[in-house]
Structure 1
């Protein structure tokens, strides 16, 4: 079996466990007044699990491929697949998760977007800076003001 199908099989297992958790265990602790709401806290995880199961099954069955050998990932040639960029992005994601609280949302998200685009090959600073700063600001505004979820925008030393 090809590498993409093995990864799909692992993701299918993860989505099944995630779906079981979303469908059967998340809603047990809801307050009685929330059980009458049309959208529960488990609605998005339920949707994600169903979409993940569908996507993993499509890849596992090979429905998305045109010709059988054209799109297979050859695990013997992993060095040709920009493995450094993938590992760099994984390390950057971990650093982002660790820096989110101490640095605040705006600084850590902007830095993540700038460094992530640099790792992927973007070298136009006049494009990277406004896009990352603007995207971080818009997402923070939507989460903070529209949804009403508090997110520390800046580090505590700057009054965030």
Structure 2
């Protein structure tokens, strides 16, 4: 079985477990006044689980591929040639995401997001440091402003030792 079908099988299994949780466990704890609502807190997870199972089954059964294609195209993932893909970059980005999540509280949103965006673009090959810093700082500041000021959700902007 091809790599995309194995991934689809894992995805369908995850969606089934997620759907079980959405259908069987989320609605039991609703207070009586919410049980008469047409939309419950579990409605969106139920829709996501059903759509995920449908999409996963389409990939698992190969319904998205045309029948006339006998050999894999250049865009298909060939698990026999995984060493030719840029797995190092992908793994470094995953590690960077984990470090970003761990650094949000101690470093503050603005500093950790700016460093994350700069490091991520450096991993992907960007070498113009001035542009990387400018874009990262503007993006982090814009997101912080929208979340903090517009939505009213508190994000610690600065590191804890600077009073953020």
In structure 1, the residue matched to 2:77 is: 73
From 137, 156, 160, the equivalent of 2:160 is 156
* CA RMSD across the alignment: 2.8
In structure 2, the residue matched to 1:118 is: 122
The answer to whether structure 1 residue 127 and structure 2 residue 131 are counterparts is yes
Q: 1:47 offset after TM fit, Å?
A: 5.4
Assess if the C-alpha contact under 8 Å between 1:113 and 1:132 holds in 2. Answer: yes
| Structural mapping, 1:37-116, within 5 Å | 45-46=45-46, 48-65=48-65, 67-68=69-70, 69-70=72-73, 71-116=75-120
The answer to whether structure 1 residue 140 and structure 2 residue 144 are counterparts is yes
Q: Which runs of 5+ in 1 are unaligned?
A: none
The alignment's TM-score, normalised by the length of structure 1, stands at: 0.79
Q: Which runs of 5+ in 2 are unaligned?
A: none
User: Which of the two has greater helix per residue?
Assistant: 1
Aligned pairs, number: 160
The alignment's TM-score, normalised by the length of structure 2, stands at: 0.77
